[in-house]
């Protein structure tokens, strides 16, 4: 009787995985990403077996890496690993002669998942440890050598914010398990897109990511954030600085200052570089200029809906319809509020000069108010 091909077995194996996952509904996204990657890796192995050639090291490594990424609880690893450990090999085909089975090409191939247990427990432990050392400005060479991590000369330092998914706010949903699964999806996508070279210190609401310059191009970072947003099912906001390894701590601090600015100003999700927020960054520095600009919006303190409208409108790149949707009001209401802001402050938001002052004043006002609350 011919040995069932991997393609014949996969539907049953995947069904068994799904049935064994008691929290599949909440973890469906993570499972889908894992299964898709595993199918791609297994297809390469199956193609090798079909031609009576041993699977390559790269194809088996892809299966092992994908299985390890999928093995984090609560996604059940048993079914995924069983599929890889019981792969049919040419040596198991009874139609071949004893001599054929003794040749190097037909010797049994060690199961791909034998390498998985060492990675299953904490797949991000090494990346987190090395990242923490670099972010603290400490020598990381010894730890990196122990963990098989190569320290490179320069990094893209990203500050990352992961917002809460609207579904997590439902009273019937425990948001923490969902947030943990989303974080694992982000980590798996980071590892896949950066050839396993990315380092990170990430929590459920975000953190810091270090990507070696050799692992990606600067122009690819926007696409990376888009991909991370897709697997997380929420729109992420990130900021990036480029830095030599020895300057990583300062670059991380600056990246998170930029991220704080983007968050306070309700900037649209996406990736921001220093050039995008240079003016806003400078306006946050304490001094008489910030105090003067911040005071320009004092007339709006009694009208929080006007201040929020201005903040959202500027964050939406002056798109009144998007601002209206975000506020839950009609677009004409946005127009009315903007005109009222002009009358109260003396700066017309429909004019370039007035808009420049209002944008600058909003940055200064936000940080001045935060400083006053901190002093109280």
With a cut of 70, say whether residue 6 has pLDDT above it. no
Residue 341 confidence (pLDDT): 96
Starting at the edge strand found earlier in the chain, the sheet holding 154-161 runs 199-203, 206-212, 154-161, 237-244, 270-273
Give the model's confidence band at 109: pLDDT under 50 very low, under 70 low, under 90 confident, else very high.
very low
Q: Is the pTM of this model over 0.85?
A: no
With a cut of 80, say whether residue 224 has pLDDT above it. yes
For the chain, the 3-state helix, strand and coil shares in percent, each to the nearest 5, are: 65, 10, 25
Q: Strand pairing partners for 208? A: 159, 201
Angle between helices 248-264 and 125-135 (to 10 degrees): 100
With a cut of 70, say whether residue 301 has pLDDT above it. yes
Give the model's confidence band at 239: pLDDT under 50 very low, under 70 low, under 90 confident, else very high.
very high
**CATH, domain 287-373, list 1.10.10.2840, 1.10.10.10, 3.40.50.720, 1.10.3720.10:** 1.10.10.2840
Alpha-carbon span 154 to 247, nearest angstrom: 9
Domain over 125-282 is classified CATH 3.30.70.270: yes
Residue 161 confidence (pLDDT): 97
Residue 4 confidence (pLDDT): 56
Residue 181 confidence (pLDDT): 87
Q: Which residues contact 83 (CB under 8 A, 6 or more apart)?
A: 6, 9, 10, 13, 38, 42
Residue 32 confidence (pLDDT): 58
Give the model's confidence band at 360: pLDDT under 50 very low, under 70 low, under 90 confident, else very high.
very high
How is the chain split into domains, by residue range?
A: 125-282, 287-373
């Amino acid at each position: 009787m011919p040995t069932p091909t991997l393609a014949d077995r996969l539907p049953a194996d995947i069904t068994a995985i799904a049935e064994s996952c008691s929290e599949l509904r909440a973890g469906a996204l993570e499972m889908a990403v894992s299964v898709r990657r595993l199918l791609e890796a297994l297809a390469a192995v199956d193609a090798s077996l079909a031609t009576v050639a041993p699977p390559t090291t790269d194809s088996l490594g892809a299966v092992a890496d994908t299985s390890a990424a999928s093995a984090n609880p609560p996604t059940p690893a048993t079914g995924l690993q069983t599929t890889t450990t019981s792969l049919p090999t040419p040596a198991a085909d009874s139609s071949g002669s004893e001599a054929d089975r003794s040749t190097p090409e037909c010797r049994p191939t060690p199961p791909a998942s034998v390498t998985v247990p060492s990675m299953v427990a904490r797949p991000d432990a090494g990346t987190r440890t090395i990242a923490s050392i670099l972010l603290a400005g400490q020598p990381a060479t010894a730890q990196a050598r122990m963990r098989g991590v190569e320290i490179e000369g320069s990094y893209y330092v990203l500050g990352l914010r992961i917002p809460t998914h609207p579904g997590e706010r439902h009273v019937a949903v425990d948001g923490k398990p969902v947030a943990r699964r989303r974080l694992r999806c982000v980590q798996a996508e980071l590892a896949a897109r950066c050839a396993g070279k990315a380092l990170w210190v990430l929590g459920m609401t975000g953190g810091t990511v270090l990507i070696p310059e050799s692992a990606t191009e600067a122009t690819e970072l926007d696409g990376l954030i888009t991909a991370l947003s897709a697997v997380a099912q929420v729109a992420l906001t990130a900021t990036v600085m480029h830095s030599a390894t020895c300057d990583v701590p300062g670059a991380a601090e600056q990246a998170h200052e930029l991220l704080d600015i983007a968050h306070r100003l309700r900037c649209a999700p996406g990736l921001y570089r220093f050039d995008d927020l240079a003016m806003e960054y400078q306006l946050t520095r304490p001094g008489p200029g910030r105090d003067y600009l911040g005071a320009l919006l004092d007339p709006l303190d009694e009208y929080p809906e006007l201040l929020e409208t201005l903040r959202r409108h500027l964050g939406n790149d002056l798109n009144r319809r998007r601002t209206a949707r975000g506020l839950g009001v009609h677009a004409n209401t946005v127009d009315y509020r903007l005109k009222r802001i002009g009358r109260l402050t003396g700066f017309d938001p429909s004019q370039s000069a007035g808009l420049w002052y209002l944008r600058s004043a909003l940055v200064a006002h936000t940080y001045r108010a935060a400083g006053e609350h901190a002093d109280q």
